[in-house]
Amino acid sequence: MGDPRQLLLLCAESIANGDFALAEVVISRLNQVVCIYGQPMERLAAYMVEGLVARIQSSGTGLCRALRCKEPVGNEILSAMQVMYEVCPYIKFGYMAANGAIAEALKDEPRVHIIDFEIAQGTQYIALIQALARRPGGPPTVRITGVGDPAAGVAAPGGVAAVGRRLAALAADHGVPFEFHAVPVSGAGVTDAAALQRRPGEALAVNFAMQLHHMPDESVSVSNPRDRLLRMAKSLGPKIVTLVEQEANTNTAPFLARFKESLSYYGAVFESLDVTLPRQSKERISVEQHCLARDLVNLIACEGAERIERHEVMGKWRARMSMAGFKQYPLSRYVNQTISCLLKTYCDKYKLSEEDGVIYLGWLDRSLVSASAWN
């Protein structure tokens, strides 16, 4: 029948060359070998084929909307995201690295303000609030400004305000003085720094956790929200800015190069899921369909402003941070040690590395997530 990887590459090359007749033939062959219950590449191919078909039919945006509409609501989608959080260390790694850097930079501050430009369900701050509660001499006063698009796939039921209520209850349980300010818009929708309610006398941390790659840059929009947000963050005078991003080069890459990069990147992710969850697991299918498939379709089928998945590698983020006026803030050895202990509870194919002050988490020889800090 054929190897799914080779068939995917042949199909993408055909589309890039405008040979849609050949692409249709290859898609027919792919449909005979893909399987959402199969090996990692067979499962990945099932979702990549959706993207290829959508690209041929110029229906990428419509399909992405359909995938969003088909997503379960309430507890079901939260369950899929929670499974992803638990069975793979990618998100947990990013949160731990950012929290460790924030706690280290603000360790002597009595009043702490954290601005998060995509707070999602607020999961990151559970561990941070618990850690601050244990601070010698008592916890600081903590204020979190949570930005979150109510229409986004990661939005929590009840919106950003509901996240604030849950975190406030947690802080009260741990004796941490706490205040939450909800900003219910997307990160790109924050155009006035006053909306973030910066106050004198507070030590500020700004957190960008797997969010900036959704911001259009100069290749998409003359307003360049990606760099504008970084300059806004700099203007607020933060003591630390944390940056967690997927280590992939898909932003300005042309279609074929972007397809190959996505195949490599998500191939590693699907392999790592295969180690943790059985082939027939409904949880695994739910994670792949609801946490990964829509991103893949968007990467493959959409262009211009319709493509919101625009990852960049650390070298490009370093250049953006420098242009915005930031200097790198070295991550402490303690952060690295804490994450190393975390990885011991997972498969030994996950690899942790450090280069030029940046921590990378990967699967085998493929780096997948980077974490860094700036001021």
Domain count along the chain: 2
CB 111 within 8 A of CB 181: no
* Residue-number span of the structural domain to which 151 is assigned: 88-247+312-374
What values do phi and psi take at 147, rounded to 5? -95, 135
In this structure, the answer to whether residues 104 and 233 fall within a common structural domain is: yes
CA atoms within 13 A of residue 61's CA, in its CB half-sphere? 6
pLDDT at 109: 97
Does this model's pTM top 0.75? My answer is: yes
In this structure, the answer to whether residues 271 and 241 fall within a common structural domain is: no
In this structure, the answer to whether residues 270 and 218 fall within a common structural domain is: no
pLDDT at 76: 66
**59: burial class by Cβ within 10 Å (0-12, 13-18, 19+)?**
middle
Nearest to 197 by CA among 255, 89, 75, 114: 114
pLDDT at 186: 87
In this structure, the answer to whether residues 134 and 213 fall within a common structural domain is: yes
Asked if residue 164 is part of any domain, the answer here is yes
In this structure, the answer to whether residues 153 and 242 fall within a common structural domain is: yes
pLDDT at 71: 46
pLDDT at 1: 60
Residue spans of alpha helices (H) in the chain: 4-16, 20-33, 40-56, 60-70, 75-87, 90-105, 124-133, 159-173, 225-235, 255-276, 282-287, 294-301, 314-323, 333-343
Q: What is the mean pLDDT of each run of 10 residues along the chain (375 residues)?
A: 92 96 97 94 96 86 59 62 91 96 96 95 95 95 92 68 95 98 90 92 97 94 94 97 98 97 98 90 90 93 93 98 96 89 93 94 97 97
pLDDT at 75: 61
pLDDT at 72: 45
In this structure, the answer to whether residues 186 and 265 fall within a common structural domain is: no
